Amino acid sequence: MDGTPDWPGWPSKAALRYRSAGYWGDEPLGDIPRRQAALRPEATALVDGERRWTYAALEDEVTTVARALYGVGLRRGDRVIVQLPNVAEFVLLWFALQRLGVVPVHAMPGHRRTEIGHLARLTDAVAHVVPDRHARFDHRVLAAGIRASENAVRRVIVVGDVGDHDDFIPFDALRRGDAAGREEEDRPAPGDLALLLMSGGTTGTPKLIPRTHQDYAYNARAAAEICALGPDSVYLAVLPIAFNFAVACPGFLGTLHAGGTVVLAPNPSPVTVFELVARERVTITAVTPPLVPHLLAEARENRPDLTSLRVLQVGAARLPDEVARRIGPELGCRLQQVFGMAEGLLNLTRLDDPDEVVCTTQGRPISPDDEVLVVDRDDSPVPEGEAGELLTRGPYTLTGYYRSPQHARTHFTEDGYYRTGDLVRRQPGGNLRVVGRVKDQINRGGEKIDATEVEEHLLAHPEVVSAAVVAAPDPELGERSVAFLVCAGSPPDARQVAVFLRERGVAAYKAPDRVRVVPEMPFTAVGKIDKRALRALL
């Protein structure tokens, strides 16, 4: 095993195979801008609104910011919580951290005290990077609270205005190199931890996924090759930039690896998306299924110029076949279905697959060495075409969560397969159809909600005696969350529950869309709350 006490790493035999097959290389992630700056210094690397960076400029800034981060005391192996929206500073900071071997912990802008506090404690993060305000929320106040309560978090870096927090570090000061220090005597090794991604989770508290330089670089490179990315490619980042889908599937990392241009969308509205597609001659972008009908409607009504767009990636939740079939004819581009997970395994339909495969399956693994099994409840493989749980191991799939040895038994088989919790059918060509899941999660249009985690918060409500959160089918989001509650006194409604969760510092997307009060819970034969019976009530 090549890991550390914090995470297990791959068995040495497998690691040897991944290296000799050429999947794992030596280039640390932080070297990508440098390599491209040498090849094509004047080509456009990054666009955020009116701000543009050539590869030479990107490389310069990354170097300056890395030195400045070293100057403020960040060192190889440190963890830093990065909680930024789609702004160029995310990309500059991310590569600067990679240069130093400092590990970004990817948080979402919508996360609050509960989630960030948990990340801080689990990782002993030494810094928290936030925007000043985003979506009518003051992240500086959140960051001040986190720093006051979590000992390790000593530095707060703010993109924008620090306000009256004099001891916060403005990101612009790092860009100017105000705190210039040295850099790079501590170059990360290919097998080092490169970033930590949050898992959708199913055990009450978010788990973290360790990704290394070598496995993540391979993830991005293999995805970029399948998407035929090159120097002429222009990738539009519509999804949150910290989401694995937008980072490395192929995302900004795969695009920059290939020498293309990354354009950041400030919001996912169809008008914004199509304006950027037309203005920047975007060739590829990625969205979740709920956005697709809005894109189709906007295209029909306002006839934007989509002539540059070659590929629309759709994934993170199930895309209905009938919506899939409309994409090619109505947008004039190729659909690519994407079935991925922060834990690793990435499935893509291929650009030259027949329409039937592209519209009815969620693709197949990107690596010849991705091993997938479809099994029944006893872990025995089911016949091809039948539904079963997807198990997987391979060159970029985790072998254990970060600092969570207790999850080894529940989330992995004895021979090291990760239990995805997804129910799939495998078609003859190896393409997978996602048909359901066994994990206790709600997939709210691509956003994952851990039922247990929300239930634990609900149980803290003074009136709530028993709580069960389940998924209800929804025409817009695919699924919404419904909380069934047994209450002692006067039961809270959905709005009151949302306020209660907000006051507990829980991200807003986790609040149940609906609350249903029941006199008592149905139970299974073994005495667990019978969620199947509850779903039947919907």
Chain residues that interact with ligand OOB, rule: CB under 6 A: 200, 244-245, 249, 315-318, 337-342, 346, 362, 420, 422, 434, 437, 443, 448
Q: 126 or 317, CB closer to ligand OOB?
A: 317
Q: 67 or 480, CB closer to ligand OOB?
A: 480
**Minimal distance in Å, beta carbon 496 to ligand OOB?**
29
3-state secondary structure of 474: strand
Q: 318 or 364, CB closer to ligand OOB?
A: 318
**Minimal distance in Å, beta carbon 342 to ligand OOB?**
4
Residue in 54, 53, 70 with CA at minimum distance from that of residue 126: 70
The 3-state DSSP composition of the chain as helix, strand, coil percent (nearest 5) reads: 35, 25, 40
Q: 242 or 341, CB closer to ligand OOB?
A: 341
d(CA 18, CA 12): 10
DSSP 6: T
Q: 125 or 346, CB closer to ligand OOB?
A: 346
Q: Is residue 451 within 8 Å of residue 470, measured between CB atoms?
A: yes
DSSP secondary structure letters along 38-92: HH-TTSEEEEETTEEEEHHHHHHHHHHHHHHHHHTT--TT-EEEE---S-HHHHH
**Minimal distance in Å, beta carbon 404 to ligand OOB?**
16
**Minimal distance in Å, beta carbon 377 to ligand OOB?**
18
Cα dihedral sign for 116, 7, 187, 190? negative
Cross-strand pairs, 523: 529
Q: 62 or 319, CB closer to ligand OOB?
A: 319
Q: Is residue 194 within 8 Å of residue 188, measured between CB atoms?
A: yes
**Minimal distance in Å, beta carbon 436 to ligand OOB?**
9
**Minimal distance in Å, beta carbon 437 to ligand OOB?**
5
d(CA 362, CA 483): 30
**Minimal distance in Å, beta carbon 209 to ligand OOB?**
8
Please give the span between the terminal C-alpha atoms of the chain, in angstroms, as a whole number: 47
Q: 63 or 481, CB closer to ligand OOB?
A: 481
DSSP secondary structure letters along 165-195: -TTSEEHHHHHTTTT-----TTPPPTTSEEE
Q: Is residue 236 within 8 Å of residue 284, measured between CB atoms?
A: yes
**Minimal distance in Å, beta carbon 337 to ligand OOB?**
6
Q: 210 or 315, CB closer to ligand OOB?
A: 315
Residue 381 amino acid letter: P
Taking CA atoms, 136 is separated from 238, 441, 478, 509, in Å, by 19, 28, 27, 15
3-state secondary structure of 448: strand
**Minimal distance in Å, beta carbon 4 to ligand OOB?**
23
**Minimal distance in Å, beta carbon 5 to ligand OOB?**
25
For ligand OOB, the nearest residue by Cβ is 340
Q: 287 or 497, CB closer to ligand OOB?
A: 287
Q: 227 or 515, CB closer to ligand OOB?
A: 227
